[in-house]
Amino acid sequence: MKFFNPYTFILLGMFALSGYAQEARNQYRNELLQEEKEQLLQNEKEALKQRIKDINDRLLHQEITAEEADRLKLEYAEESARKIEAQYLAKENELYEGATKSETENTFSQPKETVKAYRFEKIRYKGWSNDLVFALGFNQLLEENVPFEDSRFDFAKSWFVEVGWSWKANLIPNSSLINLRYGVSLQVNSLSPRDQQVFYVNNDQVDLRPYDSELKANKLIYSNLIFPLHLELGSKKGWFVHRHSDSRTSYIKNYRRNGLVLGGGVFGGFNIHSIQKLKTDLGKEKYDPELDFSKLVYGFSAYVALPHVMTLYGKIDLSQLFENQAHLQHNVSLGLRLGIN
């Protein structure tokens, strides 16, 4: 069954990966900015602590009065606040290529008595997000009465690729702990039979038989358009608000690389394309195998985004690969996935 060439979608997905790379660079800059902010706060905190200690020592030796001590402490606190804001905004300007230049100039132009330290706090900037989905890995066919280790399909040569787009909605206000993720994806699955065999139909049953000449490559490729729905626990993205001294607000997205994300759910869709590819000494051959693929596909899928590494992703079809078969046959895949925020 052919409606369109699925490799067009894969090509578009690869182009979209460039946008994902830009998003990753932005996340890296945000992370650097967050680390710089924490370092500035720590340095100024230590410096202010030492100044207050010196003031208390002078007060203890009666070199200054209690009123003078309080006044000096307040002046030093305001000075530290202005210094933190100046250094942080300079770093922000450097990382974001002048995006906050006007804000920095306006902040420095404020009278001394109106300049206050900014503060960072976690907020729910928005309750939804969306991003590219790209996954790839190994593909296999689970067959009734056939042990997995004795599979009739080559593990290394059978693969899957998934390209799509997903949306995420927070289920708890002001929290990204529990989320609903849904979207649309194109799955391209491949099975490579062992022992020089190819698929064929015998009395409405799909099976394997030896090919009449030596095969250098042999792949059955079938594509599904699916609509996944997952319940997701955790998130690697957070939002911070920067409140300026003149009541203006800017939002900064933070990427938590130590975050752990768990997701699981269901998917459903349609088989839209299939093709058999053979390679012999005489050349390459492509043709529609005219196998009775199940028109509706559905199953379970899950993923685990581990700290500092990519996301593990797996799926299993509850629907039969082929219709009206005497033995159960379920497609199963395991690999890596991008796009979990």
Q: What is the chain's pLDDT, residue by residue, as a tens digit (341 residues)?
A: 444 455 555 555 555 555 555 555 566 667 777 777 777 778 878 888 888 888 888 888 888 888 888 888 888 888 877 877 777 777 766 666 544 444 444 444 444 433 333 444 444 445 677 888 999 999 999 998 889 888 999 999 999 999 999 998 888 876 778 899 999 999 999 999 998 888 988 888 888 888 888 888 899 999 999 999 999 988 766 555 555 555 555 555 555 556 788 999 999 999 999 999 998 888 888 888 888 899 999 999 999 988 767 789 999 999 999 998 888 999 999 999 986 66
Please count the structural domains in the chain: 2
Domain limit, last residue, from 117, 148, 181: 117
**129 and 85 within one domain:** no
pLDDT recorded at residue 273: 92
Domain residues for 242?
Answer: 124-338
**193 and 177 within one domain:** yes
Specify if 40 maps to a domain: yes
pLDDT recorded at residue 111: 43
**236 and 207 within one domain:** yes
**304 and 155 within one domain:** yes
pLDDT recorded at residue 117: 39
**51 and 158 within one domain:** no
Helix crossing, 66-95 with 101-108: angle to 10°?
160
**111 and 140 within one domain:** no
**195 and 75 within one domain:** no
pLDDT recorded at residue 112: 41
Specify if 14 maps to a domain: no
**How far is Cα 305 from Cα 338, in angstroms, rounded to an integer?**
9
pLDDT recorded at residue 308: 66
| 104 alpha carbon, distance to own chain's centre | 33
> How far apart, in Å, are the Cα atoms of 252 and each of 91, 169, 178, 239?
14, 19, 22, 6
> What's the pTM value of the predicted model, to 2 decimals?
0.59
Closest CA to 234 of 184, 177, 172: 177
Domain limit, last residue, from 90, 117, 144: 117
**203 and 334 within one domain:** yes
H or E element at residue 92: helix 66-95
Domain limit, last residue, from 86, 117, 148: 117
Closest CA to 81 of 128, 114, 33, 56: 114
**104 and 132 within one domain:** no
**326 and 259 within one domain:** yes
Quick one: CA torsion of 16, 18, 19, 25, rounded to 10 degrees? 150
**328 and 254 within one domain:** yes
pLDDT recorded at residue 161: 96
Specify if 132 maps to a domain: yes
